[in-house]
Amino acid sequence: MPVLNFLTTCFFDAGALMQLPKAVANLGITRPFIVTDPGIKAVGILAKVEDALGMPAAGVFAETVPNPLESQAKLAAAAYKECGADGLIAVGGGSSMDHAKAIGLLVSHPDPLETYAAITGGAKKIKKIPPLIAIPTTAGTGSEVSVGLISTLENGRKETIVSPNLIPSIAICDPELTLGLPAGLTAATGMDAVTHCIEAVLTPAINPPAEGIGYDGVYRAIGDGWLKKAVQDGSDPDARWHMMMASYEGALAFVKGLGGVHALSHGAGRLHEKKLHHGTLNAIFLPHILRFHEGAADAKYARLREAMRLKEGADLADAIARLNEDLGLPSTLKEIGLGMEDAQGIVDFALEDLAHSGNPKPMEADDYAKVYEAALG
């Protein structure tokens, strides 16, 4: 079984869940607190994790909502302290993993979370959090190996919090846990991974290892066709393995940064009542951001075409739009409940989001507004 040491240690392979007792022992956790969501509990994955753990959990928080909230993290942090837990196990998609990071931050640092927002230099205030084991059940976010968390704060903003101290102590990537993922969610989370890889490549920051990993993630998901295969046949173990790897690679790559797609998606995702999926938002915005940046990074566009196995000079934006269509994803923001009345707030947020600084060509308010209007359909 490959054991990868890059940002953190990752047990990666079918059946990797069986490494959980070893991971817990290595970290000295004796009273683990499990963080997950209602869906993971309902389909029996939480029970599988509890069985693999080999010891009773000190506590379980299984109510994580999509686009996690600081208010909920405070409740879970209180439960963590009350049961005397000494470590965290996150089970689920990006929401559960980000939520667990927020809980770890709140049990070891003074609140509120806005103190630690990356956009205001909060990273330097983040010290060590309790040991965290991350077990992803989707292939998209890569939060199991990322330096950040995203949460909707009590001040109403959806903020990115970044620190090397937020990287999970150990990641357990078991593609078998994604075998039951529905086609629509497979497609949306897969496009999240693809967007991570593409935006990490395009951001102007210099980090050749991270950029190389981004190209490989694009090649794996699109060039080799594993994303389409995973959507078409969710029981294909090879497709699930390669998409979990593409997701893992996306998070390794985006230590280099992200860009306008994520700035807009974060702005839309803060609209909690809309219940928008982050990966779906990325998929819709990505072609339009690629059109905006055409000509600003020609050499990278050429290499991305190669990674996607496109012809020389092919239109990247059109290729992504066709891929979205093939995957059965929405092509417009209207289809997922957004309208022009939401535009100003999303644009304003995008301009202040951490990802905004990673655009290969500078974007102003009018640029974001035009991209939003085009994506609206």
What CATH number is associated with residue 32?
A: 3.40.50.1970
Q: Which carries the bigger pLDDT value, residue 155 or residue 307? A: 307
pLDDT value, residue 9: 93
Lowest mean pLDDT, pick from 26-30, 155-159, 174-178, 252-256: 155-159
pLDDT value, residue 3: 62
- For residue 359, is pLDDT > 80? yes
Same domain for 78 and 201, yes or no, is no
**Which residue among 177, 210, 240 closes a domain?**
177
Same domain for 249 and 125, yes or no, is no
Are 375 and 285 in contact by the 8 Å Cβ rule? The answer is yes
**Which residue among 177, 196, 224 closes a domain?**
177
3 state SS for the chain:
CCEEECCCEEEECCCHHHHHHHHHHHHCCCCEEEECCHHHHHCCHHHHHHHHHCCCCCEEECCCCCCCEHHHHHHHHHHHHHCCCCEEEEEECHHHHHHHHHHHHHHHCCCCHHHHCHHHCHHHHCCCCCCEEEEECCCCCCHHHCCEEEEECCCCCEEEEECHHHCCCEEEECHHHHCCCCHHHHHHHHHHHHHHHHHHHHCCCCCHHHHHHHHHHHHHHHHCCHHHHHHHCCCCHHHHHHHHHHHHHHHHHHHHCCCHHHHHHHHHHCCHHHCCCHHHHHHHHHHHHHHHHCCCCHHHHHHHHHHCCCCCCCCHHHHHHHHHHHHCCCCCCHHHCCCHHHHHHHHHHHHHCHHHHHCCCCCCHHHHHHHHHHHHC
Split at pLDDT 50, 70, 90, the class of 2 is low
- For residue 4, is pLDDT > 60? no
- The rounded distance, in Å, linking the Cα atoms of 145 and 147 is 7
Same domain for 161 and 269, yes or no, is no
pLDDT value, residue 273: 85
- The rounded distance, in Å, linking the Cα atoms of 122 and 125 is 6
Domain count, the chain: 2
pTM of the model: 0.94
Same domain for 263 and 351, yes or no, is yes
Q: State the CATH number of the domain containing residue 250.
A: 1.20.1090.10
Same domain for 63 and 86, yes or no, is yes
Residue 298, domain extent: 180-376
**Which residue among 177, 209, 244 closes a domain?**
177
Split at pLDDT 50, 70, 90, the class of 272 is confident
Same domain for 132 and 188, yes or no, is no
Q: Considering the chain, what is the average pLDDT of its residues?
A: 96
Closest CA to 286 of 163, 167, 202: 202
Same domain for 345 and 254, yes or no, is yes
Same domain for 88 and 187, yes or no, is no
Mean pLDDT of 58-87: 97
Mean pLDDT of 302-316: 97
Same domain for 192 and 167, yes or no, is no
Mean pLDDT of 201-217: 95
Split at pLDDT 50, 70, 90, the class of 40 is very high
Split at pLDDT 50, 70, 90, the class of 5 is low
Same domain for 241 and 361, yes or no, is yes
C-alpha angle 117-118-119 in degrees, rounded to nearest 5: 95
pLDDT in tens, 90-134: 999 999 999 999 999 999 999 999 999 998 999 999 999 999 999
Residues 6 or more apart from 148 whose CB is under 8 A from it?
118, 160, 161, 162, 163, 166
pLDDT value, residue 260: 98
Mean pLDDT of 252-275: 93
Same domain for 136 and 189, yes or no, is no
Same domain for 185 and 315, yes or no, is yes
Lowest mean pLDDT, pick from 25-29, 157-161, 189-193, 328-332: 157-161
